[in-house]
Amino acid sequence: MNIAGVVILYHPDIQLLSDNIKTYVQGLKQLYVYDNSETKTPGIEEALSKLHPSIQYYYFNANEGIAKRLNRAVEEATRNNYDYLLTMDQDSAFKAGDFEKYKLQIQLAAYNNVVQFGVNCQPHFTIAKDKPEEVLTLITSGSILNLSLKKNIGTFNEDLFIDFVDAEFSYQVIQRGYINLMFSNIVLNHALGKLIEGRSLANFKKTMRITHSPIRIYYIIRNGLYLLLKAKGLTGAMKKDVLRCIKIIKNDLIYNPELSSVYINLFSGIFAFLTSKMGKK
């Protein structure tokens, strides 16, 4: 399989990053490592150079968002004549042997109009099935782009900067008559947020809740409102999916330890939407 990969970094833990990369780098012909950190993590270039000879590390001295880095990776992989591109987050990893199994299933899949393939990142909610299935959206991490068809969709939306970039692209795939295909029997170890303990307002029992950094609240609410109210061509199912994604911030509004910053970013995000301010905050 003629495949390259890209992993996008933001102030990574070198050991954790190295462990994660090891789960898929052997199955790639090239891995681009794009570092969005404002300051370079000491020792990262040396650690990556020892990890695998296919790794190319790029440091940009600025956080310019995930969409811009994805677009660059697509351009780089296309220029170097790769057929597919694996896109990964720094905190994601495959189980032993699963990446090779994933690639094999793609080669065996009887579809010729699949723009992106994806895997199961929520095994507690998504039941594993033997056959792949068409889905509305796929997350960036663990997805594989068919570069020969991706050019028919266009670029990742850099105005969104981070949140909803993968969802918006997935919607574009469907709007143009193509398919997002998920292999639910391949499970990706992926961190969806920070887990903290919170007490239910309904039964007062303590359970673990997913929360986010306050700046993420800004992007989630701004970009979610943009897709709901300004993006063209979204179906009812797509808008319902956007609402579902916006609702993930509800735990932040109650349980996030940086509550004042959460609400500041919430109202800033709403104001940014109302004034059409896109891109980086």
Task: Say how many domains are in the chain.
Answer: 2
Identify the domain boundary among 149, 166, 190.
Answer: 190
Tokens of 46: 């040396």
Mean pLDDT of 81-88: 98
For residues 72 and 157, state if they share a domain.
Answer: yes
For residues 175 and 220, state if they share a domain.
Answer: no
Q: Measured between alpha carbons, how far is 113 from 18 in angstroms, rounded to an integer?
A: 34
Identify the domain boundary among 168, 190, 212.
Answer: 190
Nearest Cα residue to 5 out of 65, 62, 54: 54
- Tell me, yes or no, whether 280 lies in a domain: no
- Tell me, yes or no, whether 281 lies in a domain: no
- Tell me, yes or no, whether 44 lies in a domain: yes
* Angle, CA 170 vertex, CA 132 and CA 116 arms, to 5°: 45
Q: Measured between alpha carbons, how far is 120 from 266 in angstroms, rounded to an integer?
A: 30
* Candidate from 42-46, 66-70, 148-152, 188-192 with smallest mean pLDDT: 188-192
Provide the CATH number for the domain around residue 79.
3.90.550.60
What is the extent of the structural domain holding 270?
A: 194-274
Q: Measured between alpha carbons, how far is 1 from 176 in angstroms, rounded to an integer?
A: 26
pLDDT at position 149 is 97
For residues 138 and 220, state if they share a domain.
Answer: no
CB 49 within 8 A of CB 59: no
Is the pTM higher than 0.85? The answer reads yes
* Candidate from 68-77, 201-210, 211-220 with smallest mean pLDDT: 201-210
CB 28 within 8 A of CB 86: yes
pLDDT at 185 over 70: yes
pLDDT at 244 over 60: yes
Q: With bands split at pLDDT 50, 70 and 90, how would you rate the model's confidence at 173?
A: very high
Q: With bands split at pLDDT 50, 70 and 90, how would you rate the model's confidence at 190?
A: confident
For residues 81 and 121, state if they share a domain.
Answer: yes
Identify the domain boundary among 153, 173, 190.
Answer: 190
